């Protein structure tokens, strides 16, 4: 009954110039493992989902995704004509799966996170699946990560009482779900020790997902229903092309997780695995399997790197020779048409630079 869903959207501008609209983060190997992030995500989920898997991505990424996951059936590849955020992507998956089997438990997992070890991840997801299937209506189950800093880019989860679910000893009710709080609030949450980060994973009965979508986002729900009704029929492409552009753009965290938590329908299972959403280039240095040249982490096969008294990160998809001498914590990202030079400390500011570059043409 479990089907995994991989929403693969977003441009990942904080990883510019490596991650671009044409080749976003999930199409790169950011750990030096030899797998792109989306392929690693697929492989991590395959044993759980037994081959039942849906990918939702932009039309522009069709060829790349099919190349990465040749196992994927075309009926299980949802292609968006334009991004409508995670609410539409995950909501449509829920609606399609509901029509195939209303008793389905779905699990949505980002395509661009780095997770290890896979076995610990799968144990947590199994607990989440048991929890999602528990009780009369089930639960929307999130996976919680111990926060390390007052990030404003994550959802925060306050756990409530322990739930008594067979096969899920660490499952708890969620008292509150707050998406992307202000820095002031995030600092308060961190200091309280009561909050976990939402890892961006949702395991739930498709019926409960749809129930909350209908209650909180009726317009989105109506559009998704129309598309899903046509999905496994010859009318699929015509209906999708007509309805998709009209859908409201909203993240699943606002559309479902926050209101469902307020209604008491959300649970959390803590994830004891290592989790990184690769939010900027400083993250590359934390991800273990990349090549090291002295104190410099090197990602990419082509470049020959020489270092002397330097530390930091080099990411290169060129065949250039790169020499770093006497500079610390530097970040060099070398691509054929754009070069980034910054430091680990300032790596988060890449997003602003990309916006400014775009504005100035």
> Sheet harboring 295-299: ordered strands across?
291-293, 295-299, 311-316, 330-334, 339-343
Rank residues 118 and 329 by Cβ distance to ligand GDD and give the closer one: 118
Helices 37-49 and 118-132, packing angle to 10 deg: 50
What does the DSSP assignment read for 308-341? ES-EEEEEE-S--EEEEES--SEEEEE-SS-EEE
Query: DSSP for 196-245?
Result: EEEEEEEEEEHHHHHHHHHHH-HHHHHHHHHHHHHHTSTTHHHHHHHHGG
Measured CA to CA, the distance from residue 317 to residue 304 in angstroms comes to 11
56 is a contact residue toward ligand GDD (CB under 6 A): yes
Distance (Å, rounded) from C-alpha 212 to C-alpha 261?
10
Cβ nearer to ligand GDD, comparing 36 with 316: 36
Q: Determine, following the binding rule CB under 6 A, whether residue 86 of this chain makes contact with ligand GDD.
A: yes
| Cα–Cα distances in angstroms (integers) from residue 126 to residues 11, 16, 43, 117, 167, in the given order | 30, 35, 16, 15, 8
| Positions 1 through 20 that interact with ligand GDD (CB under 6 A) | 7-10
Cα within 13 Å of Cα(105), Cβ side = 22
CB of 11 to ligand GDD, least distance (A): 9
- Contact pick of 57, 297, 307, 316 for ligand GDD (by CB under 6 A): 57
Return all residues near 47 (Cβ < 8 A) that are at least 6 apart. Answer: 122
Is 154 an interacting residue with respect to ligand GDD (CB under 6 A)? yes
Binder of ligand GDD out of 138, 155, 285, 312 (CB under 6 A):
155
Using the rule CB under 6 A, which residue among 118, 179, 226, 276 binds ligand GDD? 179
Q: Which of 104, 198, 240, 307 binds ligand GDD (CB under 6 A)?
A: 198
Q: Is 277 in the site for ligand GDD (CB under 6 A)?
A: yes
Q: List the one residue from 18, 44, 53, 85 that touches ligand GDD (CB under 6 A).
A: 85
Is residue 110 within the footprint of ligand GDD (CB under 6 A)? yes
Residue 107 interacts with ligand GDD (CB under 6 A)? no
Residue 76 touching ligand GDD (CB under 6 A):
no
Is residue 164 reached through a cis peptide bond, with omega within 30 degrees of 0 on the bond before it? no
Site size for ligand GDD, by CB under 6 A?
Answer: 25
Specify the pairing of strand 140-145 against strand 266-270: parallel
- Nearest CB to ligand GDD, comparing residues 134 and 198: 198
Residue 223 touches ligand GDD, criterion: CB under 6 A: no
* Integer CA distances (angstroms), 230 to 91, 95, 104, 238, in order: 15, 11, 19, 9
User: Interaction with ligand GDD in 202-221: which residues (CB under 6 A)?
Assistant: none
When binding is defined by CB under 6 A, the residue of 253, 258, 265, 280 that contacts ligand GDD is: 253
Cβ proximity to ligand GDD: between 110 and 303 the closer is 110
- How far is Cα 328 from Cα 219, in angstroms, rounded to an integer? 52
For ligand GDD, which residue of 89, 94, 96, 228 counts as binding (CB under 6 A)? Answer: 89
Residues that bind ligand GDD (CB under 6 A): 7-10, 56-57, 80, 83-86, 89, 110-112, 153-155, 179, 197-200, 253, 277
């Amino acid at each position: 009954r479990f089907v995994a869903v991989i929403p693969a959207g977003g441009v990942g501008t904080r990883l510019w110039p490596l991650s671009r609209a044409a080749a976003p983060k999930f199409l790169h190997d950011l750990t030096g493992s030899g797998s792109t992030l989306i392929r690693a995500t697929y492989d991590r989920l395959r044993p759980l989902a037994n081959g039942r898997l849906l990918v939702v991505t932009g039309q522009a990424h069709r060829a790349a995704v099919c190349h990465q996951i040749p196992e994927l059936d075309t009926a299980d590849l949802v292609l968006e004509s334009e991004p409508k955020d995670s609410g539409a992507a995950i909501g449509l998956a829920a609606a399609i799966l509901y029509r195939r089997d209303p008793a389905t438990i779905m699990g949505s997992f980002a395509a661009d996170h780095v997770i290890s070890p896979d076995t610990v991840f799968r144990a947590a997801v199994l607990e989440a699946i048991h929890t999602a299937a528990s009780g009369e209506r089930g639960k929307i189950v999130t996976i919680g990560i111990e926060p390390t800093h007052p990030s404003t880019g994550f959802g925060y989860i306050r756990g409530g009482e322990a739930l008594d679910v067979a096969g899920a000893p660490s499952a708890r009710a969620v008292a509150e779900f707050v998406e992307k709080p202000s820095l002031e609030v995030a600092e308060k949450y961190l200091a309280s020790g009561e909050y976990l980060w939402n890892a961006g994973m949702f395991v739930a009965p498709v019926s409960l997902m749809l129930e909350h979508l209908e209650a909180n986002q009726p317009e989105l729900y109506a559009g998704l229903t129309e598309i899903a009704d046509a999905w496994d029929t010859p009318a699929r492409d015509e209906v999708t092309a007509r309805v998709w552009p009209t859908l409201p753009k909203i993240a699943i965290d606002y559309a479902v997780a926050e209101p469902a938590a307020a209604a008491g329908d959300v649970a959390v299972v803590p994830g004891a695995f290592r989790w990184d959403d690769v939010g900027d280039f400083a993250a590359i240095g934390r991800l273990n399997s990349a090549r090291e040249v002295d104190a410099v982490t090197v990602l990419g096969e082509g470049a020959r790197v020489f270092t002397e008294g330097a530390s930091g990160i080099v990411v290169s998809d060129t065949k250039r020779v790169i020499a770093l001498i006497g500079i610390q914590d530097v970040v060099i990202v070398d691509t054929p048409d754009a070069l980034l030079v910054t430091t680990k400390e300032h790596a988060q500011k890449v997003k602003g630079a990309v916006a400014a570059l775009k504005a100035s043409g």
